[in-house]
Amino acid sequence: MRKTEYTRLIPLVVMLLAFAAGAFPAGKGGKADKAVSRADTEARRKADYIFMEALSRNANGEDDSYFELLNGAYELDTTETAVGQNLGYYLMALGRNDTLLAQKGYDMMRRHFDLHPDDYYSSIFYGMINNSLGNTNEAIRVWTIVDSLNPTKPDVAVKLVESLQEKRDPESLRRSLGILERIERAEGKDLGLTSHKIRAMLALGDTAASLAEIQALMASSPRNIQYQLYAGDIFQALDRPDKAIEYYDLACATDSTNGLAYYKRAQFYLQRGDSAAYDRETSHALLKEDLEVEAKTEMLRDYVGRLYADSLKRPQIQSLFESLLTQHPHEAAFRDLYSSYLIVAGDLRGAAEQQEYAVDADLSNAGRWRSIMSLYGQLDDSQTAIETGRRALEFLPDDEVINLLMGANYQQLKEYGPAMEYFRKALSLVDKEDISTRSQLVASMGDIYYAREMPDSAFIYYREAVSLDPDNLLALNNFAYYLAENDQDLDLAERYSAICVRANPENDTAIDTYAWVFYKKKDYVKAKEWIDQAISLEADKPQADVLDHAGDIYFMNREVGKAVEFWEKALKLDPGNQTLKKKIRQRTPFVD
């Protein structure tokens, strides 16, 4: 067996452990050796008692005591293979990083199966574990034995079929077909059995047998729409488009309200490159009320993704969303998808409105509340974001992100008291290990202290923010800029600003800060070099503060005329700035 793949076992083992307490006999029929002394009998009786107590602890979720009791029971009586089987499960779970421990657990389970293959549930689980681990040969051995002991249980026979088909060699594939024929004789035609048979036939290269099997399936129930769609899928896989569309058309005709039939037909046309037919069939499918919402959502997501790049298709997409929302006005999944589409289309307010409809379906959905607040924040509508946040906190008072967004929006409105209150609340809620968010919050508090003209307090918070997360570029940039503004520790300011520029070489704000640090250090040549880069990056959307800095830097490089031009451009963007007016009037940055 492959000893290196026990990590694949864990989800299955968790399920088995949960089931084991009710599924296995507490020791009856589990002895490996019946010749026992009186002392052995007492030990085994005690082991049985401990084993029952262990199962009780497991049922109550007491994992530690369960393992201790289970291990104790097995040490008292190693012949009790049912105890060994349960302990084996546990050891395999514990052995995710310990191959030897996992192998020990596996061996204990195999021992119980070899001695008691008639222990039905134990055998089923042992077979499933081998399937999970990819131990195909052992799985075949197990399912062969269990099938022989339980010939009337088709589920066991199907597990044997699946394991045989995993091998994919001709002998195993033919054997699987024989077993499927046996099940079919007893149970009748079934789509699941047919799909297994056709999988084996195609793997054997027997296309004729596959087609005959399809015909036999259809003959058993000609108006079964599932059979019709399956037949279409098989002919599509065999590159027989004429027959594939014949069966998809038949399915649509059999039940004209079946959305899945139209969906299948739409996918057929998409693969054939017929975009007009794809559009038509997709619309048919999406507007069918019986098509499940999950299928519609997936189909709509794919459809919108394919058509979005074509601007001529956007009215069609819009109309489709409107029709779906008329049909499913309370379906949050469609609202979410429509919101995502509107964000990409640049309609942030429309996206926020769709999220508001969606959140009404589940008022405890934190993600939607956060999305609404973020969208209004991007729209510079902090007041609406705050109103949304107040509603959200009625249902999610301890959501750290909502509290953070409340603080950020109050900060945007320069209402620093409530901003600080929400930032502190968010900080108390954030996981101690979430250093990125904690650093962001501490830095925001530093911004508030600086806005309140308390630079010393601000610098304490900035230092803490950088200490928490040295990659917090916003904190590094703001700290560097404000240090420069206050002519403090300019070497540290340069170092922090350089980190930001290296990380974001196309970020105009970071480059402006870097230029300003050099200006404060009186390295006017370097300052001019960097401010030119910032201005170039902002060519389509200049910022008043960057142009103001450019004027000061150009002045110190003895280009007074150019400096005045920059100040004049800055004033147009910030017409109420009295300092800029004085700079222009006095033709100097050193105004009284």
Q: What's the pLDDT score for residue 4?
A: 33
Q: What's the pLDDT score for residue 31?
A: 52
**C-alpha span between 147 and 443 (Å, rounded):** 66
Which regions in the chain score pLDDT beneath 50? 1-29, 33-34, 36
CB 458 within 8 A of CB 475: no
Q: What's the pLDDT score for residue 406?
A: 98
Maximal C-alpha separation, the chain:
111
CATH number of 131's domain: 1.25.40.10
Residue 126: inside a domain, yes or no?
Answer: yes
Model pTM above 0.85: no
User: What 3-state DSSP class applies to 48?
Assistant: helix
162, two tokens: 């699946």
Q: What's the pLDDT score for residue 39?
A: 62
Which residues, other chains included, contact 422 with Cβ-Cβ below 8 Å and sequence gap of 6+? Answer: 403, 404, 406, 407, 410
Residue 142: its H or E element: helix 136-149
Residue 16: inside a domain, yes or no?
Answer: yes
Q: Of 94, 128, 150, at which residue does a domain stop?
A: 150
The tokens 């307010």 sit on which residue?
A: 349
Q: What's the pLDDT score for residue 303?
A: 83
Residue 396: inside a domain, yes or no?
Answer: no
Residue 104: inside a domain, yes or no?
Answer: yes
| Sign of CA pseudo-dihedral 502, 508, 513, 518 | positive
In three state form, how does the secondary structure of 363-394 look?
CCCHHHHHHHHHHHHHCCCHHHHHHHHHHHHH
Q: What's the pLDDT score for residue 323?
A: 87
Domain that holds residue 65: 1-150
Tell me the backbone φ, ψ of residue 96, rounded to 5 degrees: -60, -30
Q: How many domains does the chain have?
A: 2
Q: What's the pLDDT score for residue 33?
A: 47
Residue 563: inside a domain, yes or no?
Answer: yes
The neighbour count for residue 342, using CB atoms within 10 Å, is 21
Q: Of 110, 131, 150, at which residue does a domain stop?
A: 150
**C-alpha span between 236 and 234 (Å, rounded):** 5
Q: Of 150, 182, 200, at which residue does a domain stop?
A: 150
Instruction: Tell me the per-residue pLDDT of 239-264, one tens digit each, with 9 for 90 and over.
Output: 999 999 999 999 999 988 888 888 89
Instruction: Tell me the per-residue pLDDT of 376-411, one tens digit each, with 9 for 90 and over.
Output: 999 999 999 999 999 999 999 999 999 999 999 999
Residue 248: inside a domain, yes or no?
Answer: no
Residue 134: inside a domain, yes or no?
Answer: yes
DSSP letters, 507-570, are -HHHHHHHHHHHHHTT-HHHHHHHHHHHHHHTTTS--HHHHHHHHHHHHHTT-HHHHHHHHHHH
Residue 247: inside a domain, yes or no?
Answer: no
Q: What's the pLDDT score for residue 19?
A: 40
**C-alpha span between 45 and 76 (Å, rounded):** 9
